[in-house]
Amino acid sequence: MVRSSQMKLAFLLRPAYYHHRLTIVILLVLFALYFPIRSLMQQKDREPLPYYTRRTSCPVSHDEDDVDIVIYIPSCIPWTQRRRQVLRKMRSELQGAHLYFIFGTRQGKSLEQEVDGLQAARTEASFEEIDSPVRYLFTECRDYGDEFDNPNGTSATTCKVYEALRYIAHAYADRPPRFVWRGADDSYLDLGVFRQHVMPGLQTCRLFLGGLRFPLPNTHEDLSLFDRQPNLYALYGLKKFGKYMQGMGFCMSWDVARFIGSSSIPPRQTWCEDVMVGQWLLFYDVDFVDIQSATPNVRMWENAWDINDIKQHPDALALVAHKMTTGQWLALARRPAGDISASYLLVQ
């Protein structure tokens, strides 16, 4: 009995380092649990949010003889460096659609100078238009890139998108198309897929369609203003930009394109065009429609070169293929007329 009492007393009076060892064990357990718990919390943030997905139903008067689709492609590079591969493919597929290629004419810090060789570019463009359904617009915009954190700046493609919408809103006011597409010079827009599998089920007004990017908590830090672009934060008072359609291409119904293009007050053009167009429409009664919610078997591939991703959806149709490889462009050129399969994307 005495020995038992002594053992209990020794346990209670054990050296302090035993307590330290217990503390260390507890800390190690907590440290081991931290990362799984953190991962679960982040996974929760990545779950789809119940974002607004209403569809508006309203008829639009449209003569069957009118052009039903107008496409414009804002080039971020000058005329002399223009990408021709998208034109070579799409010009043979327009059939009831009009296509405009948009270029800049200004350079210098304050756009005070004309770009070099502008007159020669205009002349060459006028000759190309003679035997081509493609039209070229030279706008009061600059070429190359996006101005970062400049509240008085303008980005090359943002300016060209706005100027294209201005032109289209006025040029087609009397005989409007149903839809206005923003294409890209490094993307292929398959009009066959659009007409056969997407267009029949689309609403014809208040539509903004594309690959929706919806910012989630603790993610998409590239859209942050407060931390990354403080001057734009001071301008807008927004910590982060809101939802938008990715820049590989997006579609507007006529009324939305006309609304932007005919307004007497221009929208701000301070950063990347895809983000900014989303912000132009964010607080108006326009439906942001993600392509996969509209037509689940149709994809807009942001990175068409990623064949592994494409192989995971072998039966999907490709409405837009962005950042295609040279091999994919060549395979697309060999695709038989009328074929709308996406097999060309599986070529290395």
Q: Name all domains of the chain by residue range, CATH numbers in brackets.
A: 69-215+246-295 (3.90.550.10)
Tens digit of each residue's pLDDT (9 = 90 or more) over 298-345? 999 999 999 888 999 888 999 999 999 999 999 999 999 889 999 999
Backbone angles phi, psi at 141, to 5 degrees: -125, 165
- Going by pLDDT thresholds of 50, 70 and 90, the confidence category of residue 127 is very high
Q: Which residues have C-beta within 8 Å of that of residue 45, sequence separation ≥ 6?
A: 216, 217, 218, 219
Q: Which two tokens stand for residue 309?
A: 């991703």
Higher pLDDT, 57 or 154: 154
Query: What residues form DSSP beta bridges with 69?
Result: 97, 179
21-30: per-residue pLDDT in tens? 667 766 676 6
Render 191-230 in DSSP notation, one character per residue.
Answer: HHHIIIIIGGGS-SSSEEEEEEE---TT--GGGBSTTT-H
Provide the residue type at 54 as one letter: R
Res 332: pLDDT:
93
Average pLDDT, stretch 202-207? 92
What's the pLDDT tens digit per position in 81-110? Answer: 998 888 888 888 888 899 999 999 998 888
Q: Would you say the C-alpha torsion 100, 101, 105, 107 has a positive or negative sign?
A: positive
- For 243-300, what is each residue's pLDDT tens digit? 999 999 999 999 999 999 999 999 999 999 999 999 999 999 999 999 998 999 999 9
pTM of the model: 0.83
